Chain A
C-alpha cells in the first residue's frame, strides 16, 4: 500500500483533537456551573445537553444544516459578517463532532463534580479562597479521573463521527474525508482492501485509547488506595 493517502488519518486526528478541546472546556464549564445550582428548569437544560446522544445522526446533521447551511440561521450571518462558510469545510466536521460528543463530556463531568465532598470546597472558602482558586486547586484535581474519562470518550466519539459530518461537511477528498467516511465510500465502491486498511487503523486507535484509559484509571485507583494522591 505504497500509494496510501494518509489525509483521512490526519484529518480525523485534527478534527477529533480540536473538537475534544472545545468540548472539554465547555463541558467542564457547564457541568461545574450547573452542579452548584438548583433552579427551575435545570432538568430541561440538562436534557437538552444530552439530546444529541440519543438522536439519530441524520437528525443532528439535518439540524446542523438548518443552522449552519449557506441559508441557515447562523450560516447566513457568518457569511454576511465574516465571509466564513461552515458547510463543506473541515470546520463543519469539527462542529458536528462537538455536538455529538458534548453530551459524553457533560455527563462525565457532571457525575465527577456531583460525587465530590462539598465540605472540602467549603473549608477552602472559609479560609478566603476565591471561587476560581477553589476550582483550580480542589474541585478540578479531585474530579480529574472523571473528567479524563469524559475527555477520552469524547475524543473516541469524535473520531468515529460519521452521519452528521457527512451531511454538514460533505465528502470532499483531501478536505473533509475522515476515516469513517473513507471506510464508507471504500465499501460502497467495492474497494475492500482500502476499507479493511482503514477499519484496522480506526479499531486500533479506538482500542488503544480505551485500553489506556482503563490502565490509567486502575493505576490511579491503586495510588488512591495506597494513599499517595
Chain B
C-alpha cells in the first residue's frame, strides 16, 4: 500500500463529502422546531425518520420537556413552530394568550394512566384502590401542579380517596420520564405513568390501569405556534401526525 494510494483515497473521500453538501443545499432546507411533551419522545423520534423521508426539504428538530415548561418557554418567545402538548390545559393557556395559529389546533392522540412497579419487585397490587400506604416507602408521581401526568394522577388518587394517605410517600418527578426512572431503578416502589411510557420500558411491569372515569380525558392536542416562520411545513407535519401512518406509529408506542 503506497502513500499515493492513501492520498487518493482521502481526496476521493473529501470530494464525495463536498458533493454531498452541495446536493443538499440545492433545495431550500426548512427546519421545523417542535416543542413536544416528554411522553412523546420515542414515538416522535421514530416518526421523524419516516416523515423526513417523505419531505426531503423539511428537517424536524425536537425540544422535549414537560408541557408546563414548554408553555413557559413559548410564552417567553422561545423559537418554536409546533407545540405538542400532553394536556388540554397547557394548550388552552397558549390559545388564550393568542399564541397559536388559528384553526390549527387538533387532538391527535390519547393515553391512559397505569400503575407500575419494578420488574423485580414482589409487591402485589391489583388495582389503584389496592394501594396500601403502609407497605410502600416511596410513591413516584409527576409534580401535580405543572406536570400533566401528575395532575391526572392527583385526580385519580383524590377520586379513590388515596391522595391524603399517600401524601408523605410521594416523590414528585419533573416529567413523566423521571417518574419512570425512579421506578426503573427500584428507588420508588410504585409509580404512575402513561401506558405509553410503561410500554417502552422493559424494567417495569404494569399492575393496573386507571379507570377513565377517575380523571379528565388524557388527550394530546397539537397546534402551530403563531410565531412560526414556516406555517406550511408545520401544518404538513400536523397533517402527517393525524394521518393513518402517523396514528400507526403512535399506536406502536402505546398511545390510543
Contacts and interface: CB of A to CB of B under 8 A. Distances in A.
A153 B167 CA distance: 36
A187 interface: yes
A173 B143 CA distance: 10
Interface string B206-242: 0000000000000000000000000000000000000
Interface in A79-95: 85, 87-88
A185 B171 contact: no
Contact of A190 (B68, B170, B174): B68
B244 interface: no
A172 B178 CA distance: 14
B146 A188 contact: yes
Contact of A171 (B66, B72, B174, B188): B174
A70 interface: yes
A52 interface: no
Contacts of B145: 185, 188-191
Contacts of B48: none
Interface string B44-76: 000000000000000000000010110110000
A175 to B, nearest CB: 9
Given A170-B172, A187-B69, A88 B185 contact: no
A171 B143 contact: yes
Interface string B124-158: 00000000000001101001011100000000000
A70 B186 contact: yes
B185 A172 contact: no
Contacts of A170: 138, 140, 171-173, 182, 187
* Most B CB within 10 A of own CB, among A85, A88, A173, A189: A189
A185 B173 CA distance: 10
B187 A188 contact: no
Contact of A71 (B66, B143, B174, B186): B186
B72 A188 contact: yes
A85 to B, nearest CB: 8
Interface in A43-61: none
Contacts of A189: 68, 143, 145-146
A65 B143 contact: no
Given A70-B185, A88-B138, A188 B69 contact: yes
A65 B146 contact: no
A173 B172 contact: yes
A69 B71 CA distance: 32
Given A184-B174, A191-B145, A70 B66 contact: no
B143 A188 contact: yes
Interface in B169-198: 170-174, 178, 182, 185-188
Nearest to A187: B72
Interface residues of B, number: 24
Contacts of A100: none
A69 B186 contact: yes
Interface string A101-127: 000000000000000000000000000
A166 B165 CA distance: 24
A190 B73 CA distance: 11
Contacts of B138: 88, 170
Interface string A151-192: 000000000000000110011110000000000110111110
B185 A69 contact: yes
A172 B140 CA distance: 10
Nearest to A87: B187
Contacts of A167: 178
A185 B178 CA distance: 14
B185 A171 contact: no
Nearest to B171: A170
Given A65-B187, A69-B187, A87-B187, A172 B170 contact: yes
Given A190-B68, A190-B71, A190-B146, 6 more contacts: A170-B171, A185-B172, A185-B174, A187-B72, A188-B145, A189-B145
Nearest 6 interchain pairs by C-beta: A189-B146, A189-B145, A188-B146, A170-B171, A171-B172, A71-B186
